[in-house]
Every structure is written in structure tokens, then in C-alpha cells.
Chain A
Amino acid sequence: MSDEMASTAITLPSASDPTRRASGLGRVGSFLRGSEENAWRWSARVASLIPLVGLAFVLTVLAIKAWPAIRVNGFGFLSRSTWNPGSTYAAPVKTSGVLHPVGSSYGAWPLIAGTLQTSVIALIVALPISLGTAFALTEHLPRWLSRPISFFVEILAGIPSVIIGLWGVLTLGPFLAKHVYPFISNNIPNVPFLRYFKGNVGYGEGLLTSGLVLGLMIVPIIASTARDLFMQVPPLPKEGAEALGMTEAEVARRVTIPWVRSGLIGATVLGLGRALGETIAVAMISGSILGAVSPNVYGTMTTIAATIVSQLDSAATDGTGFAIATLAEAGLVLAVISVVVNVIARGIVNRTSKHLAPVGKS
């Protein structure tokens, strides 16, 4: 028996050489195998740097392009409410060494206010819907119900935002303006705080409709993150609560949600980040006016992203390039807000998720 074992021990290929294979090409094979590993490592390393390089490139170009406008517009840019390209017929003047048309004065306050207002409305609308959807997806619903539900959430995530904007401005807006808004506007008491909801409802283009549609668009993000979080809640506390006599709603409210509370905050902030950057749907539904904050919840307004997309063409007619630089400044404000919000959100979500093992589950 020991002879057998000794003979088999000699004829086995050496297991210590990690690049040998029983039927390989010998030395060429092992060289190729080794360099394949290096090829993978290095190409993966280079590839993973590309998003970072892209992000840095974008922020740098924005900052460089916006610098002349920052020098002239100053800090008042964030609080002024005008949008005056100035007179393009007169000769341009120089302020702080920057050439710009006479009388040009830009203020981004309506843009910033519009962005924040629509995002807040979107969050208020999206949060209950997303949480409800996430709960529905994590309970043991029958197969024929849970599959379509998650498919619809996926569809909602994948539908192009132009089409959602198209639906919002052509169908949903007029529908709400004819049937829902007058009801609200006529029946709200004339109290100082609620007076914001009274006003001429127009045709549906405006703040409230934009906020509603934006909320619909961020539901998939919050819902899928919330669903992943809810699945991580261990069943024992939930079953214990149910054994103590709590109803399903109470279990959800008192056990599940507090368990993943900071993760939910992270998911909400993620949705907020998406809502801040949404361009096309809001540009179509908001009316894209310049220079004024909406006086009530139905009025038209604009956001930073919507302004950039609608004003870039006419900004190119400003020969001094100052209008384009101002748009770059507005874009820089939006980019910085978006990066900060996303970093905070990812930090919160990552901190509360499970500590992942380095490779897959065993």
C-alpha cells in the first residue's frame, strides 16, 4: 500500500506551481497565464480610475469655465432674482478684468429655490409610496403579485424622463388643473400659512405638478434601497412583536423602520440627489420662467437644471461668453450640491449595510 502511495505521489503534477495545467502549453502557457493575470489586474485598475477621472474632469471644466462669472457675479449670485443678459448691442464692458455685456446681471435665487422646492415636494410624495412598495415587496405576497409589482417599479425606473415629462405636461397637468387643484384651492381656509395653496391653478404647468412627477420618478430608487434594507431585518424581532399582539402596521412602524432608520435616511437622501439633478421632465412641466419665485404652489418656476437646458442655446448668442460662463456657475452650484448630497447619502447607507465578506457568499 505504501508503494502505491509512493508511486502516485511521484507521478502527480506539482501542485506548488500555480500556473501549470495538466495539458497546457508548457512554458509559453505559463507565461501567458501569468501575464493574463497581470493584464486583468492592470486593465481593471485603469478602468476603475476612469469614473474618478471623469468626475474630476467635469468639476474642473466647470470651475474653469465659471471663474469669470464668479468674479463678476460675486456672492450676490446666490440671492439675486434677476436674469438680465444685458444689452448685446452696446460695446461690452470690463468688470474685474472680465468682459461682459452692459447691464448684465444674473441671480440664481429663483433657480435654487425652485430646485429645492420641487425636491422637497418630490420627497414628501415619494416617501410614503416607496415605503409602502418596499413593505409590499418584502412581505410574502403570492408570486403572481410580487413579480409584476417589482417589474413595474423597474419600468418606472427605466422610462425615459422625456416621456414622463410628456405625460406630465400633456395629460397629468391639465387633468390635475381641471379636477384636483380647483378643489384644493377653493376649499383651503384663508390662513397665512395655507394661503400658499390658494391661487390661480393655470393649466397644470407649475411647481406642484413638477413636484408630483418628480416624486414619481424617485420612487424606484428609494423603494429598491428600502426593500434591500427591509430584507436585512432579522425575522425574530418581527415575529416576537407579532406574538406580543402588534398588528402588521405596528410591527412595521415600531420594529422594522427603527431597525433600519439611518439606512432609510440614506435612501431618502439618495432620492433627493436624483431629484436635484432631474432636468428634462422638470423643464417640460415647470414652465421654465426666469427671474421669479412662484408666489403659490401652482405657479410656474424653474430649476437650475431646467434653466441650463433651456438657456444654453440663447447663451451662445452672447459674444463675450459671459452668459455661458454664468450657466457654468449655476451648473457648478448644482454639481457641488449634488456631489455633497450623494457623498452624505452613500456614507449613511454604507455604514448601515452588512459588512460584506470580500467575496461572495459561501
Chain B
Amino acid sequence: MAALIFVIGPSIWLIADVVIRALPHWQWSVLTTVPVGVGGGLENAILGTLVIMVGVLLIAGTVGILTGIHFAELQRLRRSGKAGGNFLRTATEVLAGFPSIVLGYVGYIALCVGLHWGFSLLPALIVLSIMVTPYIAKSTESALRQVPTNYREGAEALGMATGYALRKVVIKSALPGIVTGLLIALAIAVGETAPLLYTAGITNNLPSLSLIHQPIAYLTYYVWTDYNQPILATRYLSYDAALILIALVLVLLVSSRLLVNRTQRYSEGRR
């Protein structure tokens, strides 16, 4: 129907536009040099984004998966048997739609200024993790709910304890769904600007491993700041950053899709 044109059309236009803007001036040195003067490369930003991605995976992944497990498995059931509608879950879902700039602002005030950490990696990780954890929790919970009850009943019949059954049976079968949720959440984290602008700052150096007092670069900064600069070389830098970002996000999304397709081939009850 006609609505599909309005979805597919702009998506393709969007990606094609970025590619058209960035490709004519693309140089492979962009990947290996840091910003120099008005031009240069994006190595600091690429490595910074990857470091942030790994950090968010560790922090938000752990918290999010455990939260999802809590919601799906370990919560004591209410008498009506209804799964939704309790306070913790509402708080998590409210956090999912929270304005990202407000989180960045709070991170700036409380962590960078209040605790004197300055622009650095740890406030950025904390703020991004708070932002992304609800998505991971939601997808983990729905992946766990899709595991058939038979598996759990069989595990209990064999005499497994709940935690052991969780580790060996339930999580293993829900793993593709959990990983898909992680990949999508990483795609969201990679593309965020507002929370990072005021918590991670910016630097031309490659990311060091210090968690505080040392700012870190990230790709979205260059897209946000340099797109309307008067000097062409800087604008090209911004387009290049946009191109790398799109490539990164597409890699994450495509691999999550491939994962879903591959596991649907082997799982029971596939459509």
C-alpha cells in the first residue's frame, strides 16, 4: 500500500544521500589519522565509538539481561497471573522513552561537574547504559517468554535447581533473542549524540583507558558539529563520519537479522 512508499522511500533516500555526499571525497586515510587542523581523519572517533560500544555492552548488557531475567522468570507471580503492570516494570518502560538530552544534562551536572570527573568515559558509559538498559531488558524478557514452558517443566522434572536450569536450558534457548536485543541496543547507543555531548566531551587523541578526567571522541560529535562549517574539508569530515556511522549501524542491524533468520531455521514452532 501507499504507506510503504513513505517508509521505504525516505529510508533509501536518506542512506543514498549520505553515501553520495561522502563517497566522492572519501579517502582511506580517514580511518587511520586523527583530526588535524580543519581536516584530517576520524581514527580517534572510530576507536572512541568502539570503546563506548564495548563499555555499554558490558554495563548495560549485564544489567539489562539480569533485569529481563528478573521480569520473566524470577518475579513472584501476582495472584491474577497477569504479567504486566507492576512498579518496576513501569519504571523501566518509562525510562525507555526518556528524553536523551535530559539524561546527558543530569550526567553533566551530577557526574562531570558534581563528582569532578570532568568529560570522560565513565559518565558517558553510565548515561548511555541508563538509556539503553530498558531496551535490553524488554527484548530479554520477550525472548525468555518465548521459550516453551515444556523446557522448564522438563528441567524441573529432571531435578535441576532453578538457577541451574536457567543457565543450562532456558537462557541457552533464548540466547538468539537476547543477542538480537543486545545488537539493536548497541545500534541505538552508537547513534546517540545528546547524552555524549556533555559527558564525553571531545578530544583529538586516541582513547586512553582511563575512566575519568580524560575526554573521549565519538563519531556523532563530528556529524553534529561540522555539517555546516564554512570550510569544505571540515564538512567532508562530517559526511565521512556519517558514512562510517551508517555502515556501523547497518552491520549491527543486518547481523541481528541474520541471527534471527538462522535460529528460526532450527527452532521449533517456526512460521
Contacts and interface: CB of A to CB of B under 8 A. Distances in A.
B184 A158 contact: yes
Contact of A353 (B80, B84, B160): B84
Question: A-side binding surface: helix, strand, loop or mixed?
Answer: helix
Contacts of A112: none
B45 to A, nearest CB: 13
B66 A149 contact: no
Nearest to B10: A216
Given A132-B4, A158-B252, A279 B77 contact: no
Given A55-B91, A162-B224, A342-B93, A61 B66 contact: no
A57 B123 CA distance: 14
A280 B8 contact: no
Contacts of A10: none
Contacts, number: 303
Interface in A179-196: none
B227 A284 contact: yes
A223 B3 CA distance: 11
B84 A350 contact: yes
Interface stretch (B24-32, B35-43, B185-193): B185-193
A315 to B, nearest CB: 10
A356 B81 CA distance: 8
B130 A54 contact: yes
A359 B73 contact: yes
A337 to B, nearest CB: 9
A312 B92 contact: no
Interface residues of B, number: 100
B245 A44 contact: no
Contacts of B84: 350, 353, 356
Interface string B1-35: 11110111011011101100100000000000000
A327 interface: yes
B187 A18 contact: no
A48 B223 contact: no
Interface string A251-287: 0000000000000000000100110111110001000
B144 A44 contact: no
Interface stretch (A67-75, A83-91, A99-107, A328-336): A328-336
Given A37-B161, A280-B194, A52 B88 contact: yes
A51 B161 contact: no
B246 to A, nearest CB: 6
Interface residues of A, number: 100
Contact of A33 (B98, B133, B163, B197): B163
Interface in B52-95: 62-64, 66-67, 69-74, 77, 80-85, 87-88, 90-95
28 contacts: A19-B161, A33-B161, A36-B161, A40-B166, A55-B94, A58-B103, A62-B106, A133-B4, A148-B8, A152-B11, A154-B184, A156-B10, A159-B11, A159-B14, A160-B192, A160-B193, A162-B224, A163-B245, A163-B246, A273-B97, A277-B97, A305-B102, A312-B105, A339-B98, A355-B80, A358-B83, A359-B149, A360-B146
What are the 10 tightest A-B residue pairs by CB atom distance, in nearest-first order?
A: A132-B3, A160-B191, A277-B99, A47-B66, A37-B163, A44-B70, A356-B83, A36-B163, A48-B70, A40-B163
